Every structure is written in C-alpha cells, then in structure tokens.
Structure 1
Amino acid sequence: MPEREVELLAAALRRDSADLNLYAEVLSVNLVDSLPPGAVQVKRKRSVTDRMSGRDGAVTGLDVTLGERRLALRVDRAVVVGEICKEVRGIVLSRRQVGLDEWIDALAQALADAAASNARAREAVERFLT
C-alpha cells in the first residue's frame, strides 16, 4: 500500500482520539467488525450499573494481532499505554511501550500490510478511509 494511503489511514484512526474512552470504544467496535475473527481482543471493565442495565462496560484494553505483530492499547482514565510486540506462535520476541500517536501509526502500517494480502483487511482499511 502506498505511503500516502498509510498516512490517510493513520489520520482516520486518530479521528476523535481527544476523548479516550469514546475513542477506545469506537475503535474496538470498528476493528472487531472489520477484521477476521480472533484478530481483535477487547477487555472491558463493567460496573454494577453496567451489569444491571445490560451494558458491556468501558473498554480498558485492546489487543490487535496482525501477522507477527500484536498491538496492545490500555486505557485507564486519562492514561493510555500502547505496546507493540513481535510475536511468533504465541511467544513474544520483543515488546516496546509507545505513546498513542506511535501506536496508531503502527496499527495503520499493520492494517496496510494485512490489506495487501487479505481481502477482509482491505475492506477494513477502506472502511476507515471513508
């Protein structure tokens, strides 16, 4: 995928990132709906009120696995911690903590790389760009 499209994808992924809780919720829903089953794991924290009203709860973590890359995002109130891992057959070979901007860039690149060889990932990229 051309570098310009990766930049557009990163910009689309950054959209609405000012409200971290809303951003994590929207991003998790879009990724789960767009990527192959099992590629996205969402961690949530459910309060008593969430349980009683049947809500899913707030997103506290997001793990996206594309090929040998696993991108983890943890949200705790106003603190966001991103992590980029190289993982082969379930074994983490390297792990690096990053800020939100670098995590989004890495996610955009991983989605673009997956889109080059996978029709469903290509549809996901197109969905983020529109």
Structure 2
Amino acid sequence: MTSPHDPTPFEPSGAADSLDLLAAALRSDAADLDVYARVLTETLADALPPDSVTVARKRGVADRLAGRDGRVERVEVVLGEQRLVLDLAGGRPQGQLCKEVRGVVLSRRPVALDEWVRELAGAVMVRARSDARARAALERLVLGD
C-alpha cells in the first residue's frame, strides 16, 4: 500500500524500480512466443497511440478457416525517433533498436530479447509520464489490475 507521498510507479522518483517492474511484466510470457506476442500487441496498443504499434502476421489456411488472425511474426514499436523491432519468426525472438528521423533509419543495432524489452520499457515509461491513458494501461500491466 502506498502513502499519498509515495510516487506512482511511473513518476521519476520511482523510475528505476518502475523500469524493472515494467521490463519484468513485458518479459514474463517470453517463453511462449504466441502469448508474448499477444501481450505486446494488446497491452502496448492500449498504452500507445494507434499508429505506434505495427504487427505483421502469418496467416495459414487453418487460421483462415478458423477465423483466427494468425501468428505474430514481427512487432514494431515507434516512439519518437526510436523504432524497436522484434522478429518472432522462426521461434527465436530477435530484437533490433533503430534510430529513425523523418522516416529514414539512421542506425540499426541487433540486440538480445532482454535488452530489447528493457529499451521498450524505458521508451514506454517516458511516454507514460506525459500521457494519462498510457500510464493507466501500464499500471494495469505491472500491477495486474
């Protein structure tokens, strides 16, 4: 229980602990890539502007017949000049951190899943500090409400 003087999870004074909590929440389902992709696409879609999250899916015949969306193969999150790409095809997640200015990618760096999640958590926390809707969605993710 927090006192009225304690920072909320996304205020600067609790930033280090909040980043760890958010990264852990974002990483929690990584063992099952389908669940992980669903968490990323649904939770982040609630927390970020509509055009910030792009999802590429592979939809087979069985998916079409069953009315399913198909498997998530790639997730891209764009926040300001940062583009975070997670490729889930092939069963092994591969992350990329890109710096992008006016639609032009200036740098691209491959990273492990843990580093990708930590960068994503940091970028989303920055967004949550100035956006009440993002803050509420992230608090639901971290606190489980």
TM-score (normalised: structure 1):
0.93
Partner residue in 1 for 2:118: 105
Unaligned runs of 5+ in 1: none
Which protein is bigger by CA-based radius of gyration?
Answer: 2
Pick aligned residue for 1:26 from 25, 39, 45: 39
Partner residue in 2 for 1:123: 136
Q: Greater share of strand residues, 1 or 2?
A: 1
Q: Does 1:88 align with 2:95?
A: no
How many residues get paired? 130
Kindly indicate whether the alpha-carbon contact (under 8 Å) linking 1:81 and 1:100 is maintained by their aligned counterparts in 2: yes
Give deviations 1:52-99, integer Å, cap 9, x for gaps.
111100000000111111111011232111011111111111110101
Identity %: 53
Q: Does 1:60 align with 2:73?
A: yes
Structure 2 counterpart of 1:103, one-letter code:
W
Pick aligned residue for 1:47 from 60, 74, 91: 60
Q: Per-residue deviation at 1:6?
A: 0.8
Structure 1 counterpart of 2:82, one-letter code:
R
Q: Please, which moves more after superposition, 29-38 or 102-111?
A: 29-38
Instruction: Provide the rounded CA distance (Å) in 2 between the counterparts of 1:24 and 1:74.
Output: 10
TM-score (normalised: structure 2):
0.84
Q: CA RMSD in A?
A: 1.2
